[in-house]
Amino acid sequence: MKVYQKREKGIGALYDEVYLVDGARTAFGKLCGTLAQVSPTDLGIFASRAALNNAGISGDEMDQAIIANIGQASTDAYFLPRHIALYAGLPMSVPTLMVQRICASGMETMITATEQITLGKARSVLCCGTENMSLSPTVSFGNRLGYALGRLNFKDMLWEALNDTAAGYPMGLTAENLAKKHHISREKCDLFAKRSQELAQAASENGYFSGEITPLNSTIFEAVGLKPRKVRLPRGMTDFTCDENIRPTDQESMAKLPPVFAKDGVQTAANSSGIVDGAAAVVIAHKSVVEAKNLKPLSRIVASASCGVDPQYMGIGPVPAIEILLEMTGLSLAEIDLIEINEAFAAQCIACEMELGLERDKLNVHGGSIALGHPLAATGTRLSLTISRALKERNAKYGIVSACVGGGQGTAILLEN
């Protein structure tokens, strides 16, 4: 492993002989939709079991599990990573770790796994990101200490998660800042969102996503020595396999929606990422495992990078992260066949395009989070799985996945078919 560290730019590493074998995800349920009552733990178990099955590796062959979850949304939240690993079939002797880099947490599971493998602490690792945003709680911090008459103080943790107190305003306003800086119009944002929805709808209708989505049903998860976990979907729901946030759209309808974050702003509910519930998981393994089991991995993990940016321009984080990858590898952007940049906000993604000089036909070719939704911890894992499959589909060589991160960061991973 060759490392990169420059305080004025960021951090990164180049890797050898580590592969993304395969993975799976749940379909993403819209806010208060089909998955609204399914805990993030259970969503993670669904995705992890399917990822292991798709990879052709059993849980008892995993050396570690690296899990991500941002919003604690179930009573077993403290135990979430351990419970996912155990009910996915990993041995009780195998340790589990949770990581958190907000919107890039799914990618961080893979980065941490790759580094653990490179250090020789593992040969195969289960990585999972899971999120139920519908179950995000309303909380009263300090309630245990008591309160004055009529002075109850409750907070909506879903709303608070979207509000960066350091920047002094909701993260959507950071996209508005980028829109002003780059002179990005409302019309351009709506067109970008329309493209995302149309590409995702086409991918859904032609069966592309069926190659990564595992069907969800009411079930009971069992594991030796553990209590069974009952999972119930809404009555009558079987084989939940369709992303609920994808919908037909037209520019005329989008133009009628009011701005969400600023009076004369460009960001609306239609051109911002969807708030959804879901999980995604992948199996990361060393070359020795791949060869010993005659596996056919989806991609090789070449390099990763992370950096910090001004919180007021949070959404530009993918740009310096991608630039670090190119600097480390000596590749040019023209040599990258496909790029996934998480569509937190249309203006944010367009600003990244402009600063990188990126051709749009390489970007998010099966739609992005404006259409599919952005279940925080699961997104990076989903992006990595989707682009790895797309590289295979197109017989292309290099792909980059990247995301901006609340608070002002960026993370990117270079993958090779």
- Residue 383 tokens read as 């992006």
Residue from 127, 128, 349, 404 carrying the catalytic annotation:
404
CB-based contact 23:415 (threshold 8 Å): no
Backbone angles phi, psi at 334, to 5 degrees: -65, -25
Question: What are the C-alpha distances in Å from 43 to residues 36, 70, 72, 76, 215?
Answer: 11, 14, 13, 13, 11
| Neighbour-count burial of 363, counting CB atoms closer than 10 A to its CB (0-12 exposed, 13-18 middle, 19+ buried) | buried
Beta-bridge partners for 59: none
CB-based contact 244:236 (threshold 8 Å): no
Instruction: Answer yes or no: 404 catalytic.
Output: yes
Instruction: Answer yes or no: 352 catalytic.
Output: no
360 Cβ neighbours under 8 A, 6+ residues apart: 195, 353
Residue from 103, 189, 307, 349 carrying the catalytic annotation:
103
By annotation, the residues acting in catalysis are: 103, 404
